[in-house]
Every structure is written in C-alpha cells, then in structure tokens.
C-alpha cells in the first residue's frame, strides 16, 4: 500500500496539464467515484490494524496533494480561458461616442463669456416669482395684457404667484439688494402661456443685462451691444436700433443685426437683410424708484435676448421645438470633432 501511494505521487510530480480537457481527464482518473483515491480507500479497509495508521496518513497526504493540484490548475486554466479572445489586437479599438453640451448651453456660455469680458457678472433668481418682481416693480400697469392668464402661467390660478415671464425679475432683486454701480447679466429659463410652434414655445431661455451707475447714456448701451454683436456674429456685423416700447425702459428699442446674406435677402432674414435679436432701453426712472435707487442720481440701461433666437441665427435652425425634443440625431451634430 505504501509503495503504491509513493508511486502515484511520483507519477503526479511529472504530470503536466495544459488545457481544460486534460484537467477533466485528470479528475476522472484520480477524483471520481471509480478513481484512484476511492480505490485506495477501498484497499485501506482490507489492511491489518497495525498497518492502517501509517497507510492512513499517506492516503490523506495524497488526497490533499491531488485536491490542491486539481484546484490550482483549474483556477489557472479558467483565467487563461477568460482572457483568451479571437480578436485581432492590432486593430483599432471600438469608437466611443463622445457627449457634448446642448447647443442652448453652448450659446449661453458663449454669450456669458463675451459680457464677462466687459465686466458683467452673473446673477440668478427663482423661476417661481411673485407679482411684485415680475410685473409691479417693472412698471407694468394693472391692466397690462401680460397679467392675463392667456399670457402668463399662474400658480394655483392666483394672481400673486407666477412662473416668471422674463429674467427681469432678477434685475429687480439685484437693484433691491445691491448698491450701484451694478453691472450684471441674468441668464435663465422663463415661461409664457403661448402656443407651441416652430417660432415660439411655452418655455425658453433668456439672458438679460443691467448696468446702473451715474451718467449712463444710450450711447453706452449702443456700444455695448455693438461689441457683443461683433464678438458673437463676426467683426463685419452691423446693428440697427428701431424705436419700440417696454414698460420698464424709456426710451426703448429693438436691435437688429445684418444678415449673413449681406443684404441680398434670404429665407433667414425674410429678404430684409436684417435679423431681430434683442430688445433694450434705458431703465425707466419709475423702476429705479421702486427699487429704492434715486433716479435723480443714477441712470442705467437694460437689454434682453432669447437664447433660442440667437441659436436659431447661429446654427440656422428653422424650428425652435427641436431644441427641447432631445432628438439624438440633432444633438449629435454638436458633438466635438476628434
């Protein structure tokens, strides 16, 4: 029995296993019910009592050796099988889709950066506002159409709480809490009760600007907007200001930029050669007084633009709805080029 066990150990010492098929044959030969170990235990039962002690130790040592041998080779071969592939490792790797910023975010950040260079800082405010900050402090009369439910979203149908219709409400909050000079821009999302179409939506994004100081003139406003237009749309861009009306500015104006068709006329500018991009004006003295700023000492200008409108011009997109539909086919066009 002892010599038989020693012979098996010598045999195992020379055993080489290179694949899972050979390992399975090893298991059947040594560890199965009809294998070598089980046969040794059967022979062990026939030994004399005096011989069983030494033989039992040898069999147990052999069992541990065979089990460890099998387990080690099984783990090694399993890992090799996992890492073995049929791929050609010299080929280029799979392309990974690279995400990008939404075009609205890209345009907003670009506008912010331009006004930052002029010394404007960014301010933010709540989207759910009260009547004072959205209408009353901005010189909206009680019978103004914007106060109607057909134009504004009211919370719980109460006239005191609304979804802000413009980021001018942030201007009011800034003027109430900040001493001049004030030079800030207010980007954010706004809401209006409008029919959704290719040219309008019930929510969109705005950037408004405010400058309050002593002796601020309309010429300051014009030069600021001209700088913005040339920085954003190109150095050859021209602007024109058309008289308009806003409750919170006096005088007020609409600002147009020259179209990329150079006045020849195209579908984008409706063959006029000009594109409207924003509204502006000098802050009405009543608004300054409402915000506890002395209108006899301070003056200022304000302007506001829809980011979607600017993006429509920049990317020449004809339907504003596509910016909020999360269509991957559209958004993938703005992924960075590698």
Quick: pLDDT tens for 30-82: 788 778 877 777 777 777 777 777 777 877 887 888 888 888 888 887 776 55
Q: Measured between alpha carbons, how far is 213 from 249 in angstroms, rounded to an integer?
A: 15
Looking at the structure, tell me whether residues 316 and 177 fall in a common domain.
yes
* Confidence class for position 307, pLDDT limits 50, 70, 90: very high
Provide the number of structural domains found in the chain: 2
Confidence band for 85, pLDDT divided at 50, 70 and 90: low
Structure tokens at 13: 């010492």
Higher-scoring residue by pLDDT: 185, 337: 185
200 and 312 belong to one structural domain: yes
> Residues 34, 180: one domain?
no
Together in a domain, 79 and 107: no
Residues 284 and 165 occupy one common structural domain: yes
Whether residues 17 and 122 share a domain: the answer is no
Sign of CA dihedral 177, 180, 184, 190: positive
Q: Return the pLDDT at 337.
A: 52
Question: What is the pLDDT at residue 166?
Answer: 92
Question: Residue 182 sits in which domain range?
Answer: 103-334
pLDDT of 250 > 90? The answer is: yes
Q: What is the CATH classification number for the domain harbouring 174?
A: 3.30.930.10
Least confident of 51-55, 217-221, 224-228, 321-325: 51-55
Do 118 and 63 share a structural domain? no
Q: What is the pLDDT of residues 152-171, one digit of tens each?
A: 888 887 778 889 999 999 99
Mean pLDDT of the chain: 85
Verify that 78 and 107 share a domain, yes or no: no
Domain shared by 74 and 114, yes or no? no
Which residues make Cβ contacts (< 8 Å) with residue 170, sequence separation at least 6?
A: 123, 124, 125, 186, 188, 208
Residue pair 209/184 in contact (Cβ under 8 Å)? The answer is: yes
Contacts of 322 by beta carbon, 8 Å cutoff, 6+ apart: 330
What is the pLDDT, as a whole number, of residue 338?
A: 46
Q: Looking at the domain assignment, is residue 140 inside a domain? A: yes
Task: Tell me the pLDDT band of 86, cut-offs 50, 70 and 90.
Answer: low
In the structure encoding, which two tokens stand for residue 305, read together?
């633009």
Over pLDDT 70: what percentage of the chain? 93
Q: Is the dihedral of CA 147, 150, 156, 157 positive or negative?
A: positive
Helix, strand counts (H, E) of the chain: 11, 9
How sure is the predictor about 190, in pLDDT bands with cuts at 50, 70 and 90?
Answer: very high
Three-state SS at 243: strand
For the chain, the first-to-last Cα distance in angstroms comes to 73
Same structural domain, 23 and 137: no
């Amino acid at each position: 029995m002892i010599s038989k066990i020693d012979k098996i150990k010598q045999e195992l010492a020379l055993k080489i296993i290179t694949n899972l098929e050979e390992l399975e044959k090893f298991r059947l030969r040594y560890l199965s019910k009809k294998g070598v170990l089980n046969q040794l235990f059967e022979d062990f039962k026939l030994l004399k009592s005096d011989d069983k002690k030494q033989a039992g130790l040898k069999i147990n040592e052999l069992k541990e050796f065979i089990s460890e041998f099998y387990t080690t080779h099984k783990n090694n071969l399993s890992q090799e099988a996992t890492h073995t592939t049929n791929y050609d490792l010299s080929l280029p790797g799979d392309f990974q889709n690279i995400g990008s910023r939404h075009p609205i975010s890209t345009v907003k950040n670009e506008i912010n950066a331009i006004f930052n260079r002029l010394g404007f800082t960014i301010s933010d405010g709540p989207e759910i506002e009260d009547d004072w900050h959205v209408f009353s402090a901005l010189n909206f009369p009680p019978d103004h159409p914007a106060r109607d439910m057909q134009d504004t979203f009211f919370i719980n149908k109460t006239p005191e709480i609304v979804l802000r219709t413009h980021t001018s409400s942030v201007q009011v909050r800034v003027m109430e809490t900040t001493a001049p000079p004030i030079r800030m821009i207010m980007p954010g999302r706004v809401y209006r009760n409008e029919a959704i179409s290719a040219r309008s939506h019930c929510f969109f994004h705005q950037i408004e600007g405010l400058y309050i100081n002593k002796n601020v003139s309309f010429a300051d406003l014009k030069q600021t907007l001209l700088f913005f237009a040339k920085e954003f749309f190109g150095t050859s861009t021209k602007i024109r200001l058309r008289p308009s009306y806003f409750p919170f500015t006096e005088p007020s104006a609409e600002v147009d930029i020259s179209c990329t068709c150079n006045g020849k006329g195209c579908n984008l500018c409706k063959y006029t050669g000009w594109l409207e991009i924003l509204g502006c004006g000098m802050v009405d003295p009543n608004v300054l007084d409402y915000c506890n700023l002395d209108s006899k000492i301070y003056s200022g200008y304000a302007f506001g633009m829809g980011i979607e409108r600017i993006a429509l011009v920049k990317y020449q997109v004809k339907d504003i709805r596509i910016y909020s539909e999360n269509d991957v086919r559209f958004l993938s066009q703005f992924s960075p080029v590698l």
